[in-house]
Amino acid sequence: MFAFKKIVPLLLFSGIAFGVFVGTKINTEKKDKFSEIIDIIENDYVDSTVGELIREEAIVHLLSQLDPHSSYIPPQLSAINEQQIRGNFDGLGIENILFDDSIMITKVMDGSSAQKAGLKEGDRMLKANMLSLLDSNAFDNLSLALEKSTVQLSVFRRSVNKSIVFNLKKASVVINSSKIYYMVNQSLGYIKIDRFSSNTHQEFLNSLTHLKQQGLKDLILDLRNNGGGLLAEAVAIANEFLAKNDIITYTKGNKRNLKEYIADGNGQFKKGKLILLTNQNTASSSEILTGAMQDHDRAVVLGNRTFGKGLVQEPFRLPDGSTIRLTTARYYTPSGRSIQKTYSKNIDWYRNEIFRRNNLQDTLNPVFDSTVVKDFFSTNGRLLTIGGGIRPDVILKDPISDSFSVSAKIILILNQSKAFDIFIIDYYQNELSQIKKDFPTMQAFNFNFQCSNQQIEKLQQVIFKKNNINIYQYNIKQLLAKNLKAAIAYKLYGENGKSQLLNLYDGIFSISFDVLKNYNRILNINAKKSRKFDY
């Protein structure tokens, strides 16, 4: 086996001939050097080999040498990847996690077959199509059962202390990417977009319509942690804010001609004040939208520097059902700025760059191509910063760049493990109804409810027992209280309740009010130093 591993780098090094695979068809009449090498290895190598495995490893390595975003998707994952991009999938509509040696349901999606059948958060899965979900093969067995169109699921429900059998049919589950929206006050609305999938633009318009009916004049559009998605959807939303013939973005590459995306002037929100919220995980299509708003002085960008992903990938389907997503062009903002940060170092360095930032260094030491010497200006003549994503007009305190701190890392781990949700499901469920009686409105809960010391101590005990983290050595009771309260808000008032609570904690609304007061000054609106974008 050692000898087999040693031969792989030699094969990868010769993978330059793989270019034949990314074209529109593969020449099967005459073998290329890549295929010849595979044949030689399979026929003459000292140990047994798996040719297909070697090919796939070579493909992955080859694409990794091009840029951080060109990638290979094997046949078994291609359909799933396409579903994720579209924002819908076939399934039961549940989220789960391994807890106490069983698979616990942590979320039942609205409108899903699981919700219609009566599954609930906290149900423990016992069997799926007669396959046990209580051993080391639990997730494999669950995946095997979910390959069928119908699933018989046996669960244990603690609230009634008995097992219940459900007969479920898989159905299309649509992930709403703009389901969080509400009025902050009588005139300021808030909409959060999680991703850009096939329905995002329409979902955004639905949210906007509801808020207008409630008196919307100005808008906060939250793109934090939005990793991108379909460019067409981001362009369509940008179109809602811009005047006719405004450039939204353009793309060009060595083998791709310049392609412009232009606003048609028929947008639904071209006049009101607009604030965009960004952070380090605002990436790709989200950065396209942000860059267009900033270049045209259409919005104040509030938050932290965005990720810096400005490369265009096109899918190339191969005969075996696998897919190559190959970078073919770069995105540019209307003024001509490239969003892409440098990727001259290794991929880990590139991906983890966001954790090495802090606001001072971010301002003084931008990450950009040193060969760029041109200045870029907004419509109103503001000098724009370049390289490594979109820098905000107003900077917020950055919790991500502070993630070197142990406390932030621990909270991140606990959120990913769903520790707070599990604590509520398992130990706190009976208290929720009383809390709802004591705090009948979201506002009353946000401003008056406080987690008690006894609740936090119980939470620490559960975390110590279930997550194998010695939580007592960290001084993070305040952070625990914040995240527990947010999880309770979600159980009582849904996504809107949790969002409002966290935005209050983080001071988003109070800072936004200040931004609105100084809106014209920040955007230099009265200067009217119009500049024509040229590139």
Percent of the chain residues past pLDDT 70, beyond the cut: 85
Residues 379 and 244 in one domain: yes
Give per-residue pLDDT as tens, 106-144.
Answer: 888 888 899 999 999 889 999 999 999 988 788 888 888
**Per mean pLDDT, which range of 67-71, 126-130, 139-143, 328-332 is the poorest?**
139-143
The yes-or-no verdict on residue 533 having pLDDT over 70 is no
Provide the pLDDT for residue 7. Answer: 40
Residues 381, 495, single domain; the answer is no
Of 342, 369, 396, the position where a domain reaches its end is: 396
> Beta 300-303 vs 394-395: how paired, if at all?
parallel
Please check whether residue 234 lies inside any domain of the structure: yes
pLDDT bin (cut points 50, 70, 90) of residue 223 is very high
What is the average pLDDT value for the chain, to the nearest integer? 84
pLDDT tens, position by position, 455-469: 999 988 888 877 777
Residue 269, domain member (yes or no): yes
Residue 477 is predicted with a pLDDT of: 86
Residue 206 shares a structural domain with residue 144: no
Look at residue 33 and tell me whether its pLDDT is greater than 60.
yes
Residue 28: which pLDDT band, with cuts at 50, 70 and 90? Answer: very low
pLDDT of amino acid 184 = 96
Rg (CA), the chain: 26
- 172, β-bridge pairs: 90
Look at residues 198, 270, 273 and name the one whose alpha carbon lies nearest to residue 229. 198
* Residue 316 pLDDT greater than 50, yes or no: yes
Residue 203 within a domain: yes
Cα-based torsion angle of the residue sequence 121, 126, 132, 138 in order, rounded to the nearest 10 degrees: 30
Number of structural domains, the chain? 4
* H helix runs in 193-244, sequence order: 200-213, 231-239
Same domain assignment for residues 296 and 310: yes
In a domain? residue 297: yes
pLDDT of residue 359: 46
Tokens of 45: 């190598």
Q: What is the pLDDT of residues 180-217, one digit of tens each?
A: 999 999 999 999 999 999 889 999 999 999 999 999 99
User: 211 and 315 in one domain?
Assistant: yes
Residue 86 predicted with pLDDT over 70:
no
Within a domain: residue 521?
no
User: Is residue 357 located within the same domain as residue 230?
Assistant: yes
Say yes or no to pLDDT of 14 above 70: no
Tell me: do 339 and 269 sit in the same domain.
yes
Residues 464 and 429 both lie in one domain: yes
The predicted model gives 440-451 an average pLDDT of 92
Average pLDDT score over residue span 366-375? 54
Residue 241 has pLDDT above 90, yes or no: yes
| 236 and 255 together in one domain | yes
Task: Return the minimum-mean-pLDDT range out of 27-36, 318-327, 348-357.
Answer: 27-36
Q: Is the pLDDT of residue 3 over 60?
A: no
| pLDDT above 50: residue 42 | yes
Task: Identify whether 125 is part of a domain.
Answer: yes
> Residue 91 has what pLDDT?
83
Give DSSP secondary structure letters for 284-345: THHHHHHHHHHHTT-SEEEES------EEEEEEE-TTS-EEEEEEEEEE-TT--B-PPP--S
* Average pLDDT rounded to a whole number, residues 221-246: 95
Annotate 404-430 with b (16+ C-beta within 10 A) or e (fewer). eeeebebbeebeebbbbbbbbbeebee
CATH of residue 129: 2.30.42.10
Q: Which residue has the higher pLDDT, 478 or 408?
A: 478
Please give the helix or strand (H or E) that residue 39 lies within, else none. Answer: helix 33-44
Asked whether residue 346 falls in the same domain as residue 489, the answer is: no
Residues 343 and 374 occupy one common structural domain: yes
The range of the structural domain enclosing residue 414 comes to 406-505
Q: 5 pLDDT exceeds 80?
A: no
Does residue 528 surpass a pLDDT of 70? Answer: no
Last residue of a domain, one of 132, 154, 174: 174
Kindly report the CATH number assigned to the domain that includes residue 302. Answer: 3.90.226.10
Q: How far apart are CA 106 and CA 85, in angstroms?
A: 23
Identify the three-state secondary structure at position 129. Answer: coil
Domain boundary among 345, 370, 396: 396
pLDDT tens, position by position, 257-303: 999 999 999 999 999 999 999 998 999 999 999 999 999 999 999 99
3-state DSSP assignment of residue 459: helix
My answer on whether 315 and 458 are in the same domain is no
Q: Lowest mean pLDDT: which of 13-22, 132-141, 256-265, 506-515? A: 13-22
Tens of pLDDT, residue by residue over 405-429, are 667 678 778 887 888 888 888 888 8
Residue 226: inside a domain: yes
pLDDT value of position 471? 79
Of 96, 75, 90, the C-alpha closest to 147 is 90
Domain-located, residue 158: yes
Q: Residue 406 has what pLDDT?
A: 66
